[in-house]
Amino acid sequence: MTLKALIFDVDGTLAETEAVHLQAFNLAFKDFELGWTWSEQLYLELLKTTGGKERIKAYMRNHLNLDDAALQTQIPQIHKMKTNHYVRLVSQGALKLRPGVQSLIDTALEEELILAIATTTSRANVDALAMAIWGEPAEALFAALACGDEVAHKKPAPDVFLLALERLGLNAADCIAFEDSENGLKSARGAGIKTVAIPSRFSQNNGFKGAAICVPEFTDFALADLD
Ligand code: XBP
Ligand code: MG
């Protein structure tokens, strides 16, 4: 395999974003006076459903046993408000990269590897993180971005990694993926991409079968480990 590109998941991988997503969900629920508050414990369970809109629907169905069509029509607005809160919190400096991410990116650029993103979240959230960390939109650093609402099926389906490969114009064998969650690992493996699993704060109890290697942090990994 001639390694040509690194494909990064965002949430939980580039940064421990889920605590800020959780805060943003709860702020939006307050704005809409829903009387819902998601605890970290509950969020660990809800994260099994990828996609914020899908997660709210799963919560209504599985935890509130609520099949309220009128309320379901409000989900896109609730999620838009959540995204507004998330973008504001991130732009106010709520997040930093996980340890070792920047040095891996620097090494990749020195070795003229291409960088890409394959994430379930929205482009707005990816750009908010990139602006906060690097002071420029994600496309300045990442040659290809594939985001959640661009594909028919979110992770663990392979769609978003297949879209990233298509936009890169590369084969799976030319790339390595980095993921923090079981859903994300399944998605990358479903696209045939060798994957490094780096569990995050909210995915410690996930299974990582099929990962080429599973390490606690990026600082515990070097690209040579996969030769
Ligand atoms: C992340 C997700 C997203 C985020 C919330 O998955 O599933 O839904 O939790 O962001 P991954 P949105 O890290 O595998 O990409 O509310 O924008 O979906
Ligand atoms: Mg993730």
pLDDT tens-digit series, residues 141-183: 999 999 999 999 999 999 999 999 999 999 999 999 999 999 9
**Whose CA is closest to 109, among 142, 79, 156?**
142
Cβ–Cβ < 8 Å for 213, 197: yes
Residue 199, φ and ψ in degrees, nearest 5: -50, 145
**Whose CA is closest to 226, among 163, 187, 174?**
174
pLDDT tens-digit series, residues 77-134: 999 999 999 999 999 999 999 999 999 999 999 999 999 999 999 999 999 999 999 9
**Whose CA is closest to 196, among 211, 218, 181?**
211
Region 67-83: what's the mean pLDDT? 93
70 has a pLDDT exceeding 90? no
* C-alpha of residue 13 to centroid of ligand 2, in Å: 5
Residue 153: how many other CB atoms lie within 10 Å: 12
* C-alpha of residue 208 to centroid of ligand 1, in Å: 18
* C-alpha of residue 2 to centroid of ligand 1, in Å: 30
Smallest CA separation from ligand 1 atom 6, residue: 120
Q: In whole angstroms, what is the distance from residue 179 CA to residue 190 CA?
A: 13
Decide if 11 is catalytic.
yes
Residue 120, ligand 1, Cβ within 6 A: yes
6 has a pLDDT exceeding 70? yes
Residue 159, ligand 1, Cβ within 6 A: no
Residue 155, ligand 1, Cβ within 6 A: yes
Decide if 159 is catalytic.
no
Residue 9, ligand 1, Cβ within 6 A: yes
What is this structure's pTM?
Answer: 0.97
Strand partners, 6: 115, 176
Q: What is the pLDDT of residue 71?
A: 86
Q: In whole angstroms, what is the distance from residue 117 CA to residue 187 CA?
A: 13
3-class secondary-structure state, position 13: coil
Residue 184, ligand 1, Cβ within 6 A: yes
18 has a pLDDT exceeding 80? yes
* C-alpha of residue 146 to centroid of ligand 1, in Å: 13
Residues 6+ apart with CB under 8 A from 98: 13, 14, 15, 16, 198, 200, 217, 218
Q: In whole angstroms, what is the distance from residue 154 CA to residue 120 CA?
A: 6
Q: In whole angstroms, what is the distance from residue 64 CA to residue 36 CA?
A: 10
What is the position in ligand 1's atom list of the atom closest to the CA of 51? 8
Residues 6+ apart with CB under 8 A from 194: 1, 172, 175, 176, 177, 212, 226
Cβ–Cβ < 8 Å for 22, 192: no
Q: What is the pLDDT of residue 1?
A: 64
Region 222-227: what's the mean pLDDT? 89
Smallest CA separation from ligand 1 atom 14, residue: 184
Q: In whole angstroms, what is the distance from residue 79 CA to residue 67 CA?
A: 18
Banded pLDDT at 227 (limits 50, 70, 90): confident
Residues 6+ apart with CB under 8 A from 173: 1, 192
Query: Regarding predicted confidence, which is higher, 1 or 37?
Result: 37
Q: In whole angstroms, what is the distance from residue 203 CA to residue 183 CA?
A: 10
